[in-house]
Amino acid sequence: MNFLGWLFDPAHWSGSGSIPQRLVEHIGYTALTMLIAIVIAVPLGAWIGHTGKGGFLVVGSANGLRALPTLGVLILLVQWTGLGLLGPLIALVLLAVPPVLAGTYAGVRNVDASVVDAARGMGMRGRDVLFGVELPNALPLIIGGIRSSVLQVISTATIAAYVGLDGLGRYIIDGLSIRDFPQMIGGSILVALLAVVADLVLAGLQKLLVSPGLQTAGTGRRVRAVATRPTDTAAQAA
Amino acid sequence: MNWVIQNLGFISSLLTDHIVFSLVPVVIGLVIAVPLGWLANRAGFGRAVVVNLAGLLYTVPSLALFVFLPVILGTGILDPVNVIVALSVYTVALLVRTVADALEAVPPLLVDAATAMGFKPFRRFVAAELPVSVPVILAGVRVAAVSSISLVTVGSVIGFGGLGQMFTDGFQRSITAEVVAGIVLVVALALIVDGILLLIGRALTPWDRAARAVAKGATA
């Protein structure tokens, strides 16, 4: 199948519906969704982790999300709100919140109790402890949750082309409707590349943002906490 | 509700398809992941390669994988086999790491005891290391099964997806009841399968039951 020919055809690299335009759309949807999801999930997860109230809800929502069929949720929301950006965006945010929430909650919750005690011993108040100690220590798991969410959103935004959203998914859906298989395969390669690159960029960001003390600590536990995503830990706990 | 009652035949045939096409990949994936996980746990260098490769595969969005697999497999682009292979790939990607972690966590004392009793490596793996790893591996299988049940529906976009066809059909004909019923059925199926796997896990680990009873007695 001549999908390489489709991918490298100069006609597909400029103008309306070109690969750069679809790529920017796809990244735009993902960025907008993640912005909203982070604004909702990080404060909520931090509060629940800090106070310890309602933790079972967080773990439940992250586990329950796996069972929820994304295509069904997308179609249901589009049927309620009509075609356009709003329905898919609500669906994407809905799917993006639980992993970030679970990551933030688990991160704040798992901060070494002796570290929190030491902070209190130094005279830090609740707010200082949360922002100065708990959140920086929770950062590896928070970013881990964001990584899971970003992958979920890139994947679901692709499927959302079925309900009329733009982005790279258009090539797969439009290609299917006219039986243009090279276009479909070319589109699927672009989506896969975007997901892999996004994950690598976030992994790099994780290295950059997380305090070096948390990355190079001698104990295996810390190192593993950095590598483990909250979805994995949720799986172990389930 | 009326819609559901009038279309019970249609729904039950989709449900049968859905069960086959979501659970066969989990079985295939588990059968492949156990030896791979064993290998990854054995060879230190292989472990990093296998775990990273699995992570990379898990990153690829489902719809993209469904469409791209025919290039590798030589199948038709609308062949249901693509969905089965794609979901098997996800299961392997998820379980290889779980199996490797589970085997790594087996107490060395137990392995030594089995060796001392004259177990050869293969029998020691099957009779001692694998059974002790069941709880952790099963946790992974539950995640894989639930994900698989939910992911099959994405296949309906390219013409095959079990209960997912209730979404695409309900969308094209604007029947909200059909979409809602589809979501409820998929979630219910996932919960039921998850519960059955939990029970299978308990049946496979009778020693855990004894430990739980002791723990319960201690707290009572």
B47–chain A nearest CA distance, Å = 14
- Give the nearest chain B residue to A3 (CA atoms): B71
Angle at B58 between CA B54 and CA B60, to 5 degrees: 125
Q: What whole-number distance in Å separates Cα of residue A32 and Cα of residue A22?
A: 15
Rg over alpha carbons for chain B, rounded to the nearest Å, is 21
Q: With contact defined as beta carbons under 8 Å apart, do A92 and A156 qualify?
A: yes
Please list every residue in chain B whose beta carbon sits closer than 8 Å to the beta carbon of residue A169: 63
Q: What whole-number distance in Å separates Cα of residue A32 and Cα of residue B59?
A: 20
Where helices occur in chain A by DSSP H, the ranges are 3-8, 19-51, 55-67, 70-81, 86-109, 113-121, 126-128, 135-159, 169-177, 181-209, 212-215, 220-227, 230-237
Probe site for chain B from A23, A29, A59, A66 (most B CB atoms < 10 A): A66
Instruction: Give the one of A1, A159, A199 whose C-beta lies nearest to B157's C-beta.
Output: A159
Instruction: Give the one of B61, B98, B171 whose C-beta lies nearest to A155's C-beta.
Output: B61
Collapsing DSSP to helix, strand or coil, A83 comes out as: coil
Q: What whole-number distance in Å separates Cα of residue A161 and Cα of residue A159?
A: 5
Collapsing DSSP to helix, strand or coil, B189 comes out as: helix
B39–chain A nearest CA distance, Å = 21
Q: Phi, psi (5° rounding) for residue A31?
A: -65, -45
pLDDT attached to residue A6: 84
Q: With contact defined as beta carbons under 8 Å apart, do A182 and A6 qualify?
A: yes
Residue partners of A139: CB distance under 8 A and separation at least 6:
A107, A209, A210, A211, A214
Q: What whole-number distance in Å separates Cα of residue B57 and Cα of residue B54?
A: 5
Angle at B146 between CA A196 and CA B212, to 5 degrees: 120
User: Mean pLDDT in each 10-residue stretch from start to end of chain B (220 residues)?
Assistant: 83 92 95 91 78 85 89 84 92 92 90 91 90 91 93 89 92 92 95 93 82 66
* Domain over B2-219 is classified CATH 3.40.718.10: no
Q: What whole-number distance in Å separates Cα of residue B150 and Cα of residue B187?
A: 8
pLDDT attached to residue A1: 57
Measured over the CA atoms of residue B137, residue B139, residue B144 and residue B149, the dihedral's sign is positive
Check residue B159 and give left, alpha or beta (phi > 0: left; psi -120 to 50: alpha): left
Domain ranges of chain A: 24-167+185-237
Domain ranges of chain B: 2-219
Residue A21: burial class (beta carbons within 10 Å; 0-12, 13-18, 19+) = middle
Distance of CA B67 to the CA centre of its chain: 21
pLDDT attached to residue B70: 86
- Give the nearest chain B residue to A176 (CA atoms): B158
Please report, in tens digits, the pLDDT of each residue of chain A (238 residues total): 577 888 888 888 887 888 989 999 999 999 999 999 999 999 999 989 888 787 778 877 777 788 899 999 999 999 999 888 899 999 999 999 999 999 999 999 888 888 888 998 988 888 888 888 888 889 999 999 999 999 999 999 999 999 989 999 999 999 988 888 889 999 999 999 999 999 999 999 988 888 877 765 434 443 344 444 444 433 333 3
Q: What whole-number distance in Å separates Cα of residue A75 and Cα of residue A160?
A: 9
Q: With contact defined as beta carbons under 8 Å apart, do A59 and A104 qualify?
A: no
Collapsing DSSP to helix, strand or coil, B63 comes out as: helix
Distance of CA A120 to the CA centre of its chain: 33
User: And the tokens for A67?
Assistant: 């069972």
- Per CATH, the architecture of A24-167+185-237 is what? Orthogonal Bundle (1.10)
ipTM of this model?
0.85
Q: The tokens 């604007």 sit on which residue?
A: B174
User: Can you spell out the DSSP letters for B79-110?
Assistant: -HHHHHHHHHHHHHHHHHHHHHHHHHTS-HHH
Q: What whole-number distance in Å separates Cα of residue A111 and Cα of residue B45?
A: 31
Q: What whole-number distance in Å separates Cα of residue A30 and Cα of residue A9?
A: 26
Q: Tens digits of per-residue pLDDT, B127-162?
A: 899 999 998 999 999 999 999 999 999 999 888 879
DSSP secondary structure code for residue B177 in this structure: H
Angle at A156 between CA A151 and CA A160, to 5 degrees: 150
Q: Tens digits of per-residue pLDDT, A77-89?
A: 999 998 888 999 9
Please list every residue in chain A whose beta carbon sits closer than 8 Å to the beta carbon of residue B71: 1, 3, 185
Angle at B137 between CA B135 and CA B142, to 5 degrees: 90
Please list every residue in chain B whose beta carbon sits closer than 8 Å to the beta carbon of residue A81: none
pLDDT attached to residue A31: 96
What number of other Cβ atoms are within 10 A of residue B195's Cβ? 11
